[in-house]
Structure 1
């Protein structure tokens, strides 16, 4: 199973359309996960044309997005439990807030956003995965999104690209 992971799209503030490289990847996705900060339901509608979309809301999302999504989700895919959370909150690092969001829950991966900083690492037996942003790289050299492949295990990949077109 191929899962495209994105978030922090901030549309239309940071970009008008989603980048074509991300949409091309969505053509072969079995599932799309969004880590919040959609800023517009147009993002959901665009992604939903490619595959089933599951997401959470972020700190810049309005009531329209918050009515459709929860702050935190646990998605079961092929026997694996994936925790999905934006990552905003007070104090601590984004990663620590994401970990706390699933404290006491059995998850195989925690997927989060908010920082716009792509990362992939294990903490004990839990994969921590942030896809970065396909539209707002901030001080980083590249835009990014993620791919999770689920089979005998969860394989993660961060895809970096230079242009938003």
Structure 2
């Protein structure tokens, strides 16, 4: 199973749109994970129209309408936890492991800065943002291969 992972799309905003390379990967995935800050309900509906099931959590700038329908956390495929804000960098991996003791990995967003860390078989992954890179050098997203033995995360540069 292949999962496409995005976060912090903050759409709609001016002429900004999802990069074609991102949309192509979203369409071809078995499922889409969005780690919050979609911003408006229309973005969730647009993602759902691509075909694969969408698993999303609410972010800090999502509209009240989105915040009512999206959970703060969720577990996908019984192995991947999702949350928008994983807190400050110091101690993040240990904190996420404690918060989600049954998960093999946590996908999060908020900072717009891509990150992949692993310790003792537990992973945390921030895909960055495909639309608003802020301090990151590039627009990015992630892909996860879900296999029997291991979750394989890959960061994808979009520009």
Alignment deviations for residues 70-127 of structure 1 (CA, whole Å, 9 cap, x no partner): 111112x2xx5111000166xx338729934852631100000001011112022211
Distance in 2 between residues matched to 1:108 and 1:83, nearest whole Å: 8
**Residue in 2 that maps onto 1:13:** 13
Asked if structure 1 preserves the Cα contact closer than 8 Å seen for 2:73 and 2:83, the reply is yes
Name the CA shift for 1:46/1:83 in 2 (closer, same or farther; >3 Å): same
**Residue in 2 that maps onto 1:161:** 158
Q: What's the TM-score once normalised by structure 1's chain length?
A: 0.85
Name the CA shift for 1:101/1:43 in 2 (closer, same or farther; >3 Å): farther
Distance in 2 between residues matched to 1:120 and 1:15, nearest whole Å: 30
Alignment of 1:124 with 2:126, yes or no, is: no
Comparing 31-40 and 17-26, the one that deviates more: 17-26
> Structure 1, unaligned stretches of length 5 or more?
none
Alignment of 1:27 with 2:19, yes or no, is: no
Asked if structure 1 preserves the Cα contact closer than 8 Å seen for 2:81 and 2:105, the reply is yes
Asked if structure 2 preserves the Cα contact closer than 8 Å seen for 1:88 and 1:94, the reply is no
Q: What's the TM-score once normalised by structure 2's chain length?
A: 0.88
**Residue in 1 that maps onto 2:79:** 81
Distance in 2 between residues matched to 1:101 and 1:147, nearest whole Å: 21
Alignment of 1:61 with 2:62, yes or no, is: yes
**Secondary structure of 2:123's match?**
strand
